[in-house]
Amino acid sequence: MSHSVGMIKAFPPLPLAIVLVTIGMPSSGCLTQPSSELEALGVIVAPYLDLDAELAALDVLDASSAASFTLKGSCGEVGGTITISNSRTGTLSTTCGSNQKWSLPIDLSSYPDGSFEFSITHSRASGARTSQPVTTPRYYKITALPTAPTPARSASAVNPSSGNTFILQWEPGVDSAGQPLMSYEYSVYPQAGGTAYQEWTSVGSETEAEISIPTAEQSGGGTFIVKIRGTDQASQTTPEQTVSVTIDTTLPTNTSSITPAGSSSYSLNQSPTFSWNPSHLADNVGVERVEYRLVVHSSNTTIIDWSSHDRTVGSKLLTGLSLSSGTTYRFEIRVVDLAGNRSSETSATWTALTLSPTLAFTSVPSSGNVNSNLSVTVSLQDGNGNVITTANQSVQLTAFTDSGCTVSASGTYSGDSVTSSSGVATFGSFQSNTAQSIYLKASSAGYSVACSSTAITLNASVLGQANFHLVADTGVSTGAGNVVTTWTSKTTSVQAGVTLTAAAGSTISFNSSSSIFNSQPAVVMSGVGVISNSALSGICSSSGFTRIIVFSNAEGGQSNKVFYDVGGASMQNYSSSLNLYTQPGNYLVASGFFTLLPNNTATLLTQVINTAAASNADKVFIRRNGTRLTTGTVGSPYSCNTSSTGINVGSIHPYHTPSGSVAEIAQFNRPLTSSELQSVESELGAKYGITIAP
């Protein structure tokens, strides 16, 4: 036997050319070895390969056939390699026999049920060429019983009034290889058993059946049984699934209310949410679903037609609406039970307010002081000006210098963000550190911003009006060992150049960062500091004065005076139960010093003399951290004598050797008002980490 290759012989062999020929099955049914004539021409021949017809038609393997499974077929080159691969069994091989047949037993009994698809190739003994792969059909090993179909929940009740048939649906079962079942069938029986109303009836591969309600059950309101089962590719039948079907004509119970309801004050935008209590939905057999719709209240024009909703979820968000502002709409829900019975509707009506929600300033002060609390109130409103009660809505203030809120104001701000839980955002501790006029803009996610129509004039710091003002973060000169040589008041003081130096026998040193004073600088007293009288003209007046000091007593300190006007002529004739003001001089703190100044703690002391006050209680008092501690009395006559020999800071005399630290001293030649005191104390409290009483 030979194969015609005349056309190939007609051309001489070409260098580097490869001609592929597959030796086919001759008409005699015998396979030949590769032609030497072809090889002489440089032709590479791929060996013939096929799969037995019975394997090509096989698709399902039961337990027996899986254990004895054998792949086999014909091959073109004796001694060539047959390679068989599969993702589950891996790669296997056998040899083309002398009869040009091949076979390979593969025991699949140990593998789980599932599918097997093999790829088979045949290579020449020399390895020079491999055949095109032959792919087997997908074989399904099915030995375990298939899973049964699962009846739908709605199958447990029917209502004959809607017709004498009903649709029973089920989730499909699968065989042990994960494939759909081939067919399903059902039967109908009385609840008590006995003769079937309907024997087993096949519906093919459908997953539902239209079932007639037995005549005997249609008017009795009773219960009957439906059984369903399926069959897999291996002709195995699933366990029967039984459904108890109740004749149900009772309407389900709907919820009694929907929120929001019945008021035009609700500001519902284009995506309103409605809610109800799903636990209020009830039925004698079972609730299947909720249905909802949206209509125009006056005309019943449908906006959203009846749509299904999960019975267990008690809210519905409507999106993609195009509502008309001022038009009243009605949202309705109804309950559908397992038999298809529908409850009466429960509804909520509301008038759409589609204008964008916005912010509005309801309280803005016209003026205030820097570093002092400003009270600002913002309300969250709908398009008609109604306050929207929104929980946990964050509102932010930003400052601008123009009424259009386009040019940002300088300075730093605190207390500029609050969370509203009632539709009103109250800023009670809003502060700025820069003297200027500002407009405020309020912003919040989902709301249009608002710009205040009223400017707030922020006055300069009250501390800037002090007659002298010693601050440890400026004006301190030091020598060897960080010893303070002079401490000079700020140039912004009314009386600039007031200096404090150490008295004879005393030492004052500088601490650039004191943990006591919120990491601010401080002057450490180991003795007495003296402020000379040469620059003290005008530190008091006939109306009185205000003196402020930020001080910390040290453990074991012996000082019982923080301030003392030497010479006894500056302020005279004061007395109190704490001996705060005694002859011959004016003591800021005398006996009771350790009560007023706890050790190693920053304390702000304020002394006020106000001779014009209506009551003695307001003529002489001292405040610690914003709280009034005691009241004295002003003697008569009161005099303001600026020719005294100076002021000692720490004690009457150097030999008292006080121990403590001073961060700041300020004196005004007038009594400060209550708001000014609050401004100064708030500013100093924030700077030094001192909690100031409101």
Query: According to the model, what pLDDT value does residue 393 have?
Result: 86
* 3-class DSSP state of 654: helix
- Confidence check: pLDDT of 593 > 50: no
Q: Which residue has the higher pLDDT, 661 or 379?
A: 379
Name which of 10-19, 610-619, 627-636 the model is least confident about: 10-19
- Confidence check: pLDDT of 574 > 60: no
The shares of helix, strand and coil residues in the chain, as percent rounded to the nearest 5, are 10, 40, 50
Beta-carbon contacts of residue 248 (< 8 Å; ≥ 6 apart): 157, 158, 159, 284, 285, 337, 338, 339, 341
Query: According to the model, what pLDDT value does residue 453 have?
Result: 93
What separation in angstroms does the CA of 614 have from each of 37, 608, 631, 639?
Answer: 135, 14, 14, 18
> How much of the chain, in percent, has pLDDT values that exceed 90?
34
- Confidence check: pLDDT of 12 > 50: no
pLDDT in tens, 312-366: 999 998 888 888 877 888 999 999 988 888 999 999 888 776 666 789 999 999 9
DSSP annotation of 30:
P
Beta bridge partners of 424: 379
Instruction: Answer yes or no: are the C-beta atoms of 352 and 660 closer than 8 Å.
Output: no
Burial letters for 308-325: b for 16+ Cβ neighbours within 10 Å, e otherwise?
eeebeebebebeebebee
Taking residues 552-578, report their average pLDDT.
Answer: 44
Beta-carbon contacts of residue 130 (< 8 Å; ≥ 6 apart): 46, 121, 122, 123, 124
> Of 75, 95, 72, 73, which is closest to residue 83 (Cα–Cα)?
95
pLDDT confidence bin for 37, thresholds 50/70/90: low
Taking residues 186-211, report their average pLDDT.
Answer: 93
Taking residues 499-508, report their average pLDDT.
Answer: 80
Q: Which CATH architecture has domain 464-688?
A: Sandwich (2.60)
The CATH code belonging to domain 150-247 is 2.60.40.10
- Confidence check: pLDDT of 658 > 80: no
Mean pLDDT of the chain: 79
Query: According to the model, what pLDDT value does residue 43 have?
Result: 59
DSSP annotation of 57:
T
Q: Which residue has the higher pLDDT, 157 or 313?
A: 313
Query: According to the model, what pLDDT value does residue 672 have?
Result: 93
Instruction: Answer yes or no: are the C-beta atoms of 626 and 685 closer than 8 Å.
Output: yes
pLDDT in tens, 234-245: 899 999 999 988
E strand or H helix at 36, and its extent? helix 36-40
Instruction: Answer yes or no: are the C-beta atoms of 466 and 667 closer than 8 Å.
Output: yes
pLDDT confidence bin for 428, thresholds 50/70/90: confident
Query: According to the model, what pLDDT value does residue 499 have?
Result: 85
Phi, psi of 527 (to 5 degrees): 140, -145
Q: How many whole angstroms from its chain centre is CA 360?
A: 27
Query: According to the model, what pLDDT value does residue 222 have?
Result: 80
pLDDT confidence bin for 367, thresholds 50/70/90: confident
Query: According to the model, what pLDDT value does residue 351 have?
Result: 78
- Confidence check: pLDDT of 41 > 70: no
Query: According to the model, what pLDDT value does residue 592 have?
Result: 36
Asked if 1-143 and 464-688 have one fold, the answer is no
Beta-carbon contacts of residue 246 (< 8 Å; ≥ 6 apart): 156, 157, 158, 222, 223, 285, 339
CA distance 280 to 282: 6
Instruction: Answer yes or no: are the C-beta atoms of 625 and 677 closer than 8 Å.
Output: no
> How much of the chain, in percent, has pLDDT values that exceed 70?
79
pLDDT confidence bin for 22, thresholds 50/70/90: very low
- Which residue spans within 611-680 are E strands per DSSP? 620-624, 627-631, 633-634, 646-649, 659-668
DSSP annotation of 250:
P
Query: According to the model, what pLDDT value does residue 88 have?
Result: 92
Q: Which residue has the higher pLDDT, 616 or 195?
A: 195
Taking residues 669-687, report their average pLDDT.
Answer: 89
Taking residues 627-639, report their average pLDDT.
Answer: 59
Beta bridge partners of 502: 529
Query: According to the model, what pLDDT value does residue 196 have?
Result: 93
pLDDT confidence bin for 264, thresholds 50/70/90: very low
Beta bridge partners of 96: none
Domain boundaries, the chain: 1-143, 150-247, 273-351, 358-460, 464-688
> Of 280, 257, 281, 251, which is closest to residue 344 (Cα–Cα)?
251
Query: According to the model, what pLDDT value does residue 384 have?
Result: 67
- Confidence check: pLDDT of 391 > 70: no
Query: According to the model, what pLDDT value does residue 200 have?
Result: 96
DSSP annotation of 672:
P
DSSP annotation of 102:
E
Q: Are strands 165-171 and 139-141 parallel, antiparallel or unpaired?
A: unpaired
Phi, psi of 116 (to 5 degrees): -135, 130
DSSP assignment string, 604-623:
EEEEEEETT-SSHHHHEEEE
Token look-up 């003026």 returns 367
Tokens of 692: 């100031």
Q: Which residue has the higher pLDDT, 360 or 33?
A: 360
pLDDT in tens, 442-464: 999 878 899 999 899 988 778 87
* Class of the CATH-defined domain 358-460: mainly beta
Tokens of 9: 């012989």
Tokens of 514: 């004191």
What separation in angstroms does the CA of 155 have from each of 163, 168, 248, 282, 307?
Answer: 15, 6, 12, 18, 21
Query: According to the model, what pLDDT value does residue 441 have?
Result: 96
Tokens of 134: 């032959």
Query: According to the model, what pLDDT value does residue 528 have?
Result: 73
- Confidence check: pLDDT of 42 > 70: no
CA distance 217 to 234: 37
The CATH code belonging to domain 1-143 is 2.60.40.10
Q: Would you mind telling me the total number of residues written for the chain in this entry?
A: 694
Instruction: Answer yes or no: are the C-beta atoms of 495 and 539 closer than 8 Å.
Output: yes
pLDDT confidence bin for 605, thresholds 50/70/90: confident
Token look-up 């001489």 returns 12
Taking residues 465-477, report their average pLDDT.
Answer: 87
pLDDT in tens, 48-102: 999 999 998 888 998 899 999 999 999 999 999 999 999 999 999 999 999 999 9
Burial letters for 185-208: b for 16+ Cβ neighbours within 10 Å, e otherwise?
bbbbbbeeeeeebeeeeebeeebe
Tokens of 129: 């060429």
DSSP annotation of 562:
S
DSSP assignment string, 163-181:
-SEEEEEEEPPB-TTSPBP
CA distance 58 to 51: 11
Taking residues 372-381, report their average pLDDT.
Answer: 88
pLDDT in tens, 193-204: 889 999 999 999
DSSP annotation of 678:
H
Burial letters for 646-682: b for 16+ Cβ neighbours within 10 Å, e otherwise?
bbbbbbbebebbbbbbbbbbbbbbbbbeeebbbbbbb
Taking residues 206-211, report their average pLDDT.
Answer: 93
Q: Which residue has the higher pLDDT, 424 or 322?
A: 424
**pTM here?**
0.42
Phi, psi of 247 (to 5 degrees): -75, 110
Instruction: Answer yes or no: are the C-beta atoms of 684 and 577 closer than 8 Å.
Output: no
Query: According to the model, what pLDDT value does residue 25 have?
Result: 45
- CA count, 13 A, side-chain hemisphere, 578: 19
Name which of 114-123, 359-368, 634-643 the model is least confident about: 634-643
CATH of 273-351, one of 3.90.950.20, 2.60.40.10, 3.40.50.300, 2.40.70.10: 2.60.40.10
